[in-house]
Homo-oligomer: A and B are copies of this chain.
């Protein structure tokens, strides 16, 4: 697979052209596995463009025998337009990440049917009746298996792609590969860690209600320092292959099922960034709940369920990650042979716990920046955007911003995820952070 023929900022490859509902059936008809899955012929296939993300085309294609999803990269940021070019090679990194994640924990990913490098296009399993977790959280639906499933996904991927498990040379080969996903990393570097803390053209927020808070954040040197400390971690720490965009819009759920999608931001980075994305987005959902209350449901119980999930995710992640490390820690750090007597085992067990503590703290810091950027930056979340009353929305957002700030500035001070839960509850109850 050569990327050498790509040119310019968009990485346009000869042969690339974006498909649409008219041209897609003929394209799929030429691919045996896809045609077979759909059944019948291209003329009988129903195609819907459903992309509601920020970057790509997404089609659902239905035939007499079955359905599938086609995801194709566009050479620009869909949310912004052609003025913001973005390389098509991100489809390659998404495919690489997906294959790796499937190797780690197949039951939590969609199956992949076809990948076309020239067309920057992947054909994959149509997850149905799954819905995007974020929409479920807005609708107030409980997902009893979600916490366990997402914790397992993170434990498996963040363990198996790291020096705790991989030989050093294999890990370095993978770091090098993903270094070239630099344009997608750059989006995160700017939009998550920097822009919300300065005047930037694409920033927006609920105005005028949050004008003062936005200005206060831009003037908050201690906050900006810690946001940049987290950015340094994001840019310097090649710990594991991370999903890179693991918010509640990248997770699809049913009552019994959980699947992770859209890993195009994947690269070798700090583990805490994925964990923080999950936790931060759940806190956003939590603070949005008063905005979704109605006469029949004040959403208080549901909000508490969300906080339960945050605790459960961390605890399950920690348990599973430590089990994997103990049972399959054959990598090139914390070399097992060095700790194979009783004292060694005890010291290593202590160290693993200390690592988990540090990872929790870093994850909370990343959760904080992920929350703030969704309220003061370019890309917002439907949890809050769907609250129509701007005063009510601003009140929810203010509480979320206060927790986000506390997580960023004080992330090294939290000992437990329960302590953060209490901070969130106190804010929601109207108390001070």
Q: Name the B residues within 8 Å of A237 (CB-CB).
A: 236-238
Using an 8 Å CB-CB cutoff, how does the interface string of A14-39 with B read, 1 for contact, 0 for none? 00000000000000000000000000
- Is the beta-carbon distance between A228 and B337 smaller than 8 angstroms? no
Q: Taking the nearest CB of chain B, how far is it from the CB of A391, in angstroms?
A: 30
Question: For window 350-375 of chain A, which residues contact chain B by CB distance below 8 Å?
Answer: 351
Of the listed stretches A48-56, A208-216, A340-348, A422-430, name the one at the interface; the rest are far from the partner chain. A340-348
- Is the beta-carbon distance between B179 and A221 smaller than 8 angstroms? no
Of the listed stretches A59-67, A126-134, A241-249, A327-335, name the one at the interface; the rest are far from the partner chain. A327-335
Query: Is A176 on the interface with B (CB-CB < 8 A)?
Result: yes
- Is the beta-carbon distance between B185 and A172 smaller than 8 angstroms? yes
- Is the beta-carbon distance between B333 and A231 smaller than 8 angstroms? yes
Q: How large is the interface on A (under 10, 10 to 19, 20 to 34, 35 or more residues)?
A: 35 or more
Q: CA separation between A232 and B359, bound complex, in Å?
A: 14
Q: Name the B residues within 8 Å of A236 (CB-CB).
A: 163, 237-239
What number of copies of this chain does the assembly contain?
A: 2
Using an 8 Å CB-CB cutoff, how does the interface string of A223-235 with B read, 1 for contact, 0 for none? 0110011011001
Known: A222-B347, A332-B189, A346-B221. A337 touches B172 (CB 8 A): no
Q: Taking the nearest CB of chain B, how far is it from the CB of A108, in angstroms?
A: 25
- Is the beta-carbon distance between A172 and B163 smaller than 8 angstroms? no
Q: Name the B residues within 8 Å of A198 (CB-CB).
A: 335, 337-338
Contact of A228 among B180, B219, B238, B334 (CB under 8 A): B334
- Is the beta-carbon distance between B225 and A347 smaller than 8 angstroms? yes
Q: Name the B residues within 8 Å of A319 (CB-CB).
A: none
Q: CA separation between A222 and B346, bound complex, in Å?
A: 10
Q: CA separation between A237 and B221, bound complex, in Å?
A: 26
- Is the beta-carbon distance between B339 and A224 smaller than 8 angstroms? yes
Which chain B residue shows the least CB distance to A333?
B232
Query: Is A101 on the interface with B (CB-CB < 8 A)?
Result: no
Query: Is A182 on the interface with B (CB-CB < 8 A)?
Result: yes
Query: Is A1 on the interface with B (CB-CB < 8 A)?
Result: no
- Is the beta-carbon distance between A179 and B186 smaller than 8 angstroms? no
Q: Taking the nearest CB of chain B, how far is it from the CB of A22, in angstroms?
A: 37
Please name the 7 residue pairs, one residue from A and one from B, whose CB atoms are nearest each other, closest first.
A176-B179, A221-B347, A176-B176, A172-B179, A169-B182, A221-B344, A172-B182
Q: Could you write out 29 A-B pairs with CB less than 8 Å apart?
A: A168-B185, A168-B186, A169-B183, A169-B186, A172-B179, A172-B180, A172-B182, A173-B180, A173-B182, A175-B175, A175-B238, A179-B179, A189-B332, A194-B338, A197-B338, A198-B335, A219-B341, A219-B343, A221-B344, A221-B346, A221-B347, A224-B339, A224-B347, A225-B348, A225-B351, A228-B338, A231-B332, A232-B333, A237-B237
